[in-house]
Structure 1
Amino acid sequence: MAPMITHRPVFAPDARFFAITGIVMALINVGAFSFFAAMGISSFRATIAVHVHAILFMGWVLLFVCQVSLGAAGSLALHRKLGWLAVGWALAMVIVGTLSTIWSAQKASVPFFFLPAQFVLMNPLSVVLFAALLSGAVAKRRDRAWHPRLIICGMAAIMGPSLGRLLPAPLLMYSMLTAVFIGMVAFPIAGMIRDKLRYGHVHPAWWLGLVSLLLLQLATETLGRSAVAGAIYSSVVAGTPGERVPGLIYQPPPFPKAS
């Protein structure tokens, strides 16, 4: 009698959801920025600062996929070692992401569908929330329920730039902020639905992540439209081309006008 061959799954059943979700998030990021490159909107002729930002954030995507895959496959020793690299990487992302936002505002290159003052506030808050949720995940690194859920929520906090590149700006126009937010919260909501179906209840980590993203959106929609945000924007762009762009007024879309 031939011996029975058993096939061991690549990912542990309970961790498969986190691995698949992480890979989907990574594919969205790679697809979005590759699309812009193919359209000629992004270019390798960009400044060194842009390249540093791209290498750092796309490097994080690679590290993120590696980590969720290692965790789901049960390779926890290497996963934990790389986790400390991820912490330092996240800190660098907060610094470089904030500086990149400032430089974009100073060059008057804020996407038209955001208020410039709103943009200057939103991006730094997003990377800070990402780092905070990632830090929480590290603190809960031995808790296999909290840890992966916080990681997914943290990644969702920085999905805005990729989602913004894939969503149809000409159709959504100044509703893009809301559309991007819906895309971001889709990930923790998917986790909540999965928990409810599989376990009969929703783990509190999803609630923490969802509420954090809701607060981020609330701050962007309210504080980002306030005189405070306008004053911050004015101080950031003083003496630069961005100074000619009003912080609390939407810029006209760069679409060809009918003759």
Structure 2
Amino acid sequence: MTAINAADSVGDRSRWFYAWMAMACLAIAVVGFVPTYFVPLTRGAAFSPPFQHIHGLLFFGWMIFFCTQTWLVATGRAQAHRDWGMLGVALATAMVASVFVIVGIRINAYANPEFAAGMRAFSWVQVSGMIFFGSVVALAIANVKKPDIHKRLMLLATIGLLDAPIARWFLVAMGGLPPAVNGEIPPPPVFVDLIPGALSVMFLLVPIIFDWRTRGRPHPVYMIGAGVLVAKYATLVQVSQLAAWDSAARWIAGLGG
């Protein structure tokens, strides 16, 4: 009975751990996007193409959805969690598609050829993030009947999104966007995502340590996922400068006319 009670205790701790990790991811997104997007939006100062707002709604919706799903499991409503699963599939698919649309819109928005080239390079930050997110969510769906793997993949996919809101922290600290040049704001250099990316990878240490304490060892999902993320950020600048990526970004931009 002692062993059974101990296993139940670990299971309860694990369910609530993932609920609180989801809330932490949401909090990071709120801290990043409320002052830089939502507050300006309420003041009528967030002038963006209409699809930009749809894109933002999808990503913020994912954070809320992920929190809701983990909360359902933590409170013993696993069937409701499964019932809402298809919404997550649809939402993740729409998120990936929206990034390609946004990339095309942003590249085509520049009249200055130098700025357009810079945005094509920077778009690798967004596209590589979606390749990671989409691939991990697909693996999570494939492992939906293996809860220990599924829940870790879903958390890994969500942590992979955190470089964007973390980057907004630095944007606020630096006083906002750079001044416009001939009416156009220069695109950010690719290297600005390296520190936010490193911080998001470091956030993975929390579930890794939790696994170490509850399982005796880190789960392979986190170790492999951390390795892939480190490789992604380590090669971010180099890949963004490749002629092959520039051609791919031009193709994406061409989809938007």
* Range class of TM-score, shorter chain: 0.7 to 0.9
Alignment of 1:152 onto 2:168:
no
SS in structure 1 of the partner of residue 204 of structure 2: helix
Counterpart-to-counterpart distance in 2, 1:115 and 1:153: 29
Q: Contact 1:106–1:236 (CA<8 Å) still a contact in 2?
A: no
Q: Contact 2:211–2:217 (CA<8 Å) still a contact in 1?
A: yes
Change (3 A) 1:198 1:115: farther
Match of 2:55 in 1: 53
User: What does residue range 212-251 of structure 1 map to in structure 2 within 5 Å?
Assistant: 212-234=228-250
Match of 1:197 among 196, 209, 213: 213
User: What does residue range 24-35 of structure 1 map to in structure 2 within 5 Å?
Assistant: 24-35=24-35
Counterpart-to-counterpart distance in 2, 1:83 and 1:129: 20
Deviations for 1:126-183, whole angstroms, at most 9, x for unmatched residues? Answer: 1121121112112222323211111111011222221111125649x96522211112
Alignment of 1:167 onto 2:183:
no
Match of 2:80 in 1: 78
Counterpart-to-counterpart distance in 2, 1:137 and 1:103: 30
User: What does residue range 11-50 of structure 1 map to in structure 2 within 5 Å?
Assistant: 12-37=12-37, 40=40, 43=45, 45-50=47-52
TM-score when scaled to structure 1? 0.76
Counterpart-to-counterpart distance in 2, 1:87 and 1:162: 22
Match of 1:119 in 2: 122
Q: Which moved more, 1:228-237 or 1:23-32?
A: 228-237
User: Residue type of the partner of 2:16?
Assistant: R
Change (3 A) 1:104 1:152: same
User: Residue type of the partner of 1:158?
Assistant: L
Q: By how many angstroms is 1:124 displaced?
A: 1.6
SS in structure 1 of the partner of residue 72 of structure 2: helix
**Which structure 2 residue ranges, 5 or more long, are not aligned?**
1-8, 176-187
Q: Contact 2:99–2:127 (CA<8 Å) still a contact in 1?
A: yes
Q: Contact 1:152–1:188 (CA<8 Å) still a contact in 2?
A: no
Q: Contact 1:33–1:162 (CA<8 Å) still a contact in 2?
A: yes
User: Residue type of the partner of 2:65?
Assistant: L
Q: Contact 2:133–2:161 (CA<8 Å) still a contact in 1?
A: yes
User: What does residue range 81-160 of structure 1 map to in structure 2 within 5 Å?
Assistant: 81-108=83-110, 115-160=118-163
Q: Which moved more, 1:92-101 or 1:36-45?
A: 36-45
Matched-pair identity in %: 20
Q: Contact 1:28–1:163 (CA<8 Å) still a contact in 2?
A: yes
Q: Contact 1:57–1:93 (CA<8 Å) still a contact in 2?
A: yes
Q: Contact 1:22–1:68 (CA<8 Å) still a contact in 2?
A: yes
Counterpart-to-counterpart distance in 1, 2:230 and 2:145: 27
SS in structure 2 of the partner of residue 141 of structure 1: coil
Counterpart-to-counterpart distance in 2, 1:194 and 1:18: 10
Q: By how many angstroms is 1:52 displaced?
A: 1.3
Change (3 A) 1:161 1:44: same
Counterpart-to-counterpart distance in 2, 1:207 and 1:20: 21
Match of 1:185 in 2: 201
Q: By how many angstroms is 1:34 displaced?
A: 0.8
User: Residue type of the partner of 1:56?
Assistant: L
Output the aligned Cα RMSD.
Answer: 2.9
Change (3 A) 1:37 1:145: same
Residues matched between the structures, number: 226
Q: Which structure has greater helix proportion?
A: 2
Q: Contact 1:195–1:203 (CA<8 Å) still a contact in 2?
A: yes
TM-score when scaled to structure 2? 0.77
**Which structure 1 residue ranges, 5 or more long, are not aligned?**
1-8, 241-259
